[in-house]
Amino acid sequence: MPKVMHPIAGRPMITYPLDALRPLSPAATVVVVGPRMESVAGIVAPAESAVQDPPLGTGDAVRTAMRALDGRLAPEGPIEDVLVLYGDTPFLAAETLSRLLAERRRTGAAVLVSGMRPADPGPYGRFVLASDGGLERIVEAADAGLEEQAIGLVNGGIMVIEACRLGEFLDALDSDNAKGEYYLTDVVGIARRKGLACRAVELPAEELVGINTRAELAEAEALMQRLLRRAAMDSGVTLTAPETVFLSSDTQLGRDVVVEPNVTFGPGVTIGEGARICSFSHLEGATVGAGARVGPFARLRPGAVLEQDVHVGNFVEVKAARLGTGAKANHLSYIGDSEVGARTNIGAGTITCNYDGFNKLRTIIGEGAFIGSNTALVAPVTIGDGAIVAAGSVITRDVPPEALSIARGQQIDKPGRATEVRARLRRKN
């Protein structure tokens, strides 16, 4: 899997910098990908993709993007600034990118680079500043001497480059370094040798977090979860044990929603005002109405829609089904590919038999119906409004409105036979 396709809070990490970029209304967005990375090209569309093959470093990556931008850079075209982002920096804010663009234009710098002071500067390129505070050069970690390694201000990666000069900077790059690659960071030294100004802007290290290992991916997930939980609570949501609740980036929680401990929200979940999500529930692709109650130990799968004041209780699974206002399924049930009317009660152990081995089939249950415990509804089947299905029934035909339906074997009692059976079994043993 390409690194930038690994998910953070339920979606690929590369979508985050693209989202941060969108409010700036860029004239063009080009995503540089490696060979055989069709999955990345698909997820970033409608942004253009340019294939870097072979990968020869960050400078070569920008060269690849330049070919896609041919004719659109100032003075020939409308693009005045080239903003270089990295697909593994999910915490960038649109406001930060706007600030960087404004700062380059304010200072007239040919190159502006983001910097940070991380707790461990080890793997990052070091900023060497001039006496006037300008950025003199960036020394990659692999090429840094002892004095340079002691520098705490390091390269955050994000660059803004004056578009009309980018081509000449890239033409001057060489690969005479420890990695044998074309470093984009060398454009700073190139610009300075031409007598052009370069500037560094220090940003919070958390916003420039990059991801290169599975351990760093886990750390990024933890940081994103902290941000999402804080945002949810600031908007009026109660998380009784925040550190145990896991959210997706698109989770929408209404005011006065209460989320109990150990709840997971997969992508595509919306929860209405005043709903309660009880412990150990898992929701994905689901919509929950105002005042509804889910769990504990409930699972809502994609396509589940619970309308206002619906109750879905412990060990109930709902998939591609709509439960109308006030409907209840409180225990040990599976409701799939179904429509359940308002105020209907689904008894414990009820299942909709929605799959015949080849096709998914629908079950329709009307309003105000009562489905007795341990019932199997064999789809396709319709239960009419106000109907009652007796406990233990296997329903294979439609049930008319207001009918009582009983579909189970007849009970037969044989007095005294239990004693006889036990005696026979003892003799065999």
DSSP state of 70: T
* Residue 331 is a catalytic residue: yes
With b meaning 16 or more CB within 10 Å and e meaning fewer, what string describes 349-365?
A: bbbbbbeeeeeebbbbb
Give the chain's radius of gyration (CA, Å).
Answer: 31
Rounded to an integer, what distance in angstroms lies between the CA atom of residue 143 and that of residue 128?
13
The catalytic position among 6, 282, 311, 331 is: 331
Token pair for 290: 């105002």
Three-state SS across 265-303? ECCCCEECCCCEECCCCEECCCEECCCCEECCCCEECCC
Query: What number of residues does the chain have?
Result: 429
Rounded to an integer, what distance in angstroms lies between the CA atom of residue 377 and that of residue 384?
13
Rounded to an integer, what distance in angstroms lies between the CA atom of residue 244 and that of residue 354?
34
Residues 134, 197: contact at Cβ < 8 Å? yes
Burial class (CB in 10 A: 0-12, 13-18, 19+), 108: exposed
Q: Which residues have a catalytic role annotated?
A: 331
